[in-house]
Structure 1
Amino acid sequence: MPVIRPSSDLRNKYSEVSKFCHEYDEPVYITKNGKGDLAVLSIEAYEKLVGKFELRKLLMEAEEDIRDGRVTDLDQAFNKIKESY
């Protein structure tokens, strides 16, 4: 269940919000005037999330390369590497 806090908690209870984000690796949803405004999470959780997006992008590019025939046989790839030395 998401944790929802008013924006005043960022000002008045920052340590509490920060502690929750670090302990539970979950975002805290911040409201402003009763409506959703921000999602706050620890740097570690943010970097993990961004890393997943970057990995997914690379996997999608690899799948596209395979689908479009932009692949090299493993032996050919190793030979090409050896030739460059």
Structure 2
Amino acid sequence: MPNIRTASELQRNMNAIYDLCESTKEPVYITRNGRESLVVMDAKAFDDAFDLRRRVLEHEMRVHDALMRSQEEVESGELVDFADIRREN
């Protein structure tokens, strides 16, 4: 369950919000007029999450590039049919 606090709580008791972020490593959602307005998060936890996101994106791009190269090989006729390979063996 997400940590939710009001903007008034943040103003009145910022140290408690700091402590909550630091101890849980989870984001704290700050609401204003009953709606989510900000997200406050421990800096190290944020950096770790952002780094993970970057690494996942890099992996996805490598997979995408490999798929595109494969598609180009199919379209140019560079691939050998699996049945042909089996017949050769």
Q: Please state which band the TM-score falls in when normalised by the shorter chain.
A: 0.7 to 0.9
Tell me what 1:33 maps to: 33
d(CA) in 2 for partners of 1:11, 1:52: 31
- Secondary structure (helix, strand or coil) at the match of 2:39 reads strand
What does the per-residue CA deviation read over 1:29-72, in whole Å, with 9 as the maximum and x for residues that have no partner? 100011111111010111011111101110011102221338xx
Q: Distance in 1 between matches of 2:36 and 2:68?
A: 43
The answer to whether 1:65 aligns with 2:65 is: yes
- Give the TM-score taking structure 2 as reference length: 0.72
1:1-85 matches, within 5 Å, as 1-69=1-69
SS at match of 2:69: coil
Query: Structure 1 regions of 5+ residues with no counterpart?
Result: 71-85
Question: Partner amino acid for 1:34?
Answer: G
TM-score normalized with structure 1 length: 0.75
Gaps of 5+ in 2: 71-89
% identity of equivalent residues? 27
Which has the larger Rg?
2
Which runs of at least 4 in structure 1 moved beyond 4 Å after TM superposition? none
